[in-house]
């Protein structure tokens, strides 16, 4: 049974569809990412799964129960961990005090010192929250998310606003938790984050899933076109090449192909026979960013009108 199963989920705010017919499944123990620009519906999806928001339509199961049913919410909340976009930690407490307080909400919490060690805050255990850096606060936030030994952890844009070092340590923490068997539903608008952490991803655009799959094969990037680029050798015309280039500008030649092995073989053979060098020869597959931008393209025209969430 899937840890999360969503089918045909719908949610509107007034007349605007925030989530419009979204379906996906998250398997036990995997890190699943919702990727999309602001306003694509990531947070709305997550809040429905957490049982915080009611839905307008569709079927949702989280850990085998319907989070929209009031009677199930208490049960669910002892089994999930939630980390919000906001660093929502009381600033006057020490790290230990906040964790002790939240530990008291759960039937069998993790030992406080284990959590502190896991999130790498042992040296800061008795420091006030307000004295922590942004990255440390985020790690404490994740510590609060896991204090109840959740089977499922929701991380809503966990590294937004963090510096690169803090992002890396947060990633390490998420990998550790995942390694322990915690299922993670992550939302992000960073491609590198999703690529580094997620086993599978659903790309959202305007409340709809526009692609699903492992980051490496998203949008056919593992199979699709490869682009081969090099500088046109001096004294050679584009028409002399053994292939018709996709694009030729001032100096560079670009060949987009699905058959890169064959094309490269012929191009290099041709260059060796003609005794010319292919300066700057470069073979690139589409990056996740290329795929993402292509998938969510329209969103950029409307970015200004988009709301958070």
Segment near another protein (CB under 8 A), from 57-65, 77-85, 159-167, 222-230?
77-85
State the Cα torsion 31-34-197-162 to the nearest 10°: -130
Q: Looking at beta carbons only, is 101 or 297 nearer to another protein?
A: 101
Q: Out of 108, 239, 244, 273, which residue is the one contacting another protein (CB under 8 A)? A: 108
Query: How far is the C-alpha of 18 from the C-alpha of 306, rounded, in Å?
Result: 11
Q: Out of 2, 5, 72, 97, which residue is the one contacting another protein (CB under 8 A)? A: 97
Binding positions for another protein, 139-198, rule CB under 8 A: 144, 148
What is the nearest approach in angstroms of another protein to the Cβ of residue 280? 47
Q: Out of 43, 136, 170, 178, which residue is the one contacting another protein (CB under 8 A)? A: 43
User: Cβ contacts of residue 250 below 8 Å, gap of 6+?
Assistant: none
Note whether 50 binds another protein by CB under 8 A: yes
What is the nearest approach in angstroms of another protein to the Cβ of residue 153? 12
Which residue, among 79, 68, 58, has the nearest Cα to 3 in the 3D structure?
Answer: 79
Q: Which of helix, strand or coil describes residue 39?
A: coil
CB 5 within 8 A of CB 49: no
Segment near another protein (CB under 8 A), from 56-64, 74-82, 181-189, 231-239?
74-82
Q: Where are the beta strands (DSSP E) in 128-199?
A: 152-156, 183-188
Please state, as a whole number, how many other Cβ atoms lie within 10 Å of the Cβ of residue 241. 19
Q: Which of helix, strand or coil describes residue 307?
A: coil
Q: Out of 10, 52, 125, 151, which residue is the one contacting another protein (CB under 8 A)? A: 52
Residues that bind another protein (CB under 8 A): 43, 50-52, 74, 77-78, 80, 82, 84-90, 92-93, 97, 101-102, 104-108, 144, 148, 308-309
């Amino acid at each position: 049974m899937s840890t999360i199963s969503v089918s045909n989920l719908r949610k509107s705010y007034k007349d605007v569809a925030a989530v419009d017919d979204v379906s996906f499944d998250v398997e036990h123990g995997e890190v699943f990412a919702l990727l999309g620009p602001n306003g694509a519906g990531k947070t709305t999806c997550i809040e429905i799964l957490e049982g915080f928001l009611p839905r307008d339509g569709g079927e949702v199961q989280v850990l085998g129960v319907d989070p929209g049913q009031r009677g199930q919410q208490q049960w669910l909340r002892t089994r999930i961990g939630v980390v919000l976009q906001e660093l929502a930690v009381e600033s006057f407490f020490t790290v230990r005090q906040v964790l002790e307080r939240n530990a008291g909400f759960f039937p069998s919490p993790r030992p406080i010192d284990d959590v502190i060690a896991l999130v790498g805050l042992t040296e800061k255990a008795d420091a006030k929250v307000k004295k922590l850096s942004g990255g440390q606060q985020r790690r404490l936030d994740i510590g609060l998310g896991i204090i109840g030994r959740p089977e499922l952890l929701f991380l809503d844009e966990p590294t937004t606003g963090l510096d690169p070092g803090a992002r890396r340590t947060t990633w390490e923490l998420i990998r550790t938790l995942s390694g322990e068997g915690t299922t993670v539903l992550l939302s992000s608008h960073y491609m590198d984050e999703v690529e580094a952490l997620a086993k599978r991803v659903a790309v959202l655009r305007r409340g709809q899933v526009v692609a699903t799959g492992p980051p490496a094969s998203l949008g056919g990037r593992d199979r699709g076109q490869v682009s081969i680029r090099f500088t046109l050798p001096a004294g050679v015309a584009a028409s002399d090449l053994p292939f018709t280039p996709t694009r030729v500008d001032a100096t560079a030649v670009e060949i987009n192909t699905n058959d890169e092995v064959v094309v490269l073989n012929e191009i290099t053979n041709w260059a060796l026979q003609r005794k010319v060098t292919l300066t700057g020869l470069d073979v690139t597959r589409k990056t996740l960013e290329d795929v993402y931008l292509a998938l969510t393209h329209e969103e950029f025209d409307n970015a200004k009108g988009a709301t958070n969430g």
